[in-house]
Amino acid sequence: MQLLLKLAGWVDALNERIGQSAKWLVLVCVLISAGNAVIRKAFDMSSNAFLEIQWYLFSAIFLLGAAYTLKHNEHIRIDILLGKLSPRKQAWVDILGGLFFLLPMAIAIFYYAWPVVTQMIASGEQSADPGGLVRWPVWVLIPIGFGLLIAQAIAEIIKRVAFLQGLIPDPAEKHSGQTAETVDTHLDAVLDQDKGGRA
């Protein structure tokens, strides 16, 4: 289990870094949108490239941020029934939901997107709109985003199993002033303690 927890820690670190970087794309998207509006109103000029880059950036924010959102347990969920369950039962719901719903869906999208993406790259897919952008880079984001989501789903299942075994605190628990990094710090401490015990 310690090796699996270490793997989960690596996935957490990767998706944390990517998610933090993806946040900056929101600012870039807003600046492009505002700049496009100013140029259109002030100079009566516009370009399809400005519109399409906003769509591309939104796609990047959504696809690259999905795993980060799952890591921080901030995804949309219906807590009417789940919130009444004990933390252990909630962990079981997360494990079963990950195994039977999230992972199959993400794997299926990754699997069926891959041939389309390779075809887009090979053909150099271009926007049909005048002045539009190359389309294949945004298609590449689909397998990347769902690949990260698959990895994070596996990491979340590992952490829930470790919680049920009493190895780490509840990774879904949120305390006032406490962030998900607190659980990561405890996870690191558990791994360091295990290394010290073996030395």
pLDDT one-digit tens code per residue, 156-197? 999 999 999 999 999 887 644 444 455 555 556 655 655 555
| Residue whose C-alpha is closest to residue 57's, from 96, 27, 94, 19 | 27
Q: Which amino acid is at 160?
A: R
What is the DSSP code (8-state) at residue 99? I
pLDDT one-digit tens code per residue, 20-67? 999 999 999 999 989 888 988 888 887 888 889 999 999 999 999 999
| Cβ proximity of 107 and 117 under 8 Å | no
- pLDDT for position 177: 44
Question: Region 148-157: what's the mean pLDDT?
Answer: 96
pTM of the model: 0.81
Question: Region 76-99: what's the mean pLDDT?
Answer: 85
Supply the DSSP string of 71-106, one letter for each residue: HTT-S---HHHHTTS-HHHHHHHHHHHIIIIIHHHH
27 to 46, 67, 69, 72, 86: CA distances (angstroms): 20, 20, 18, 21, 39
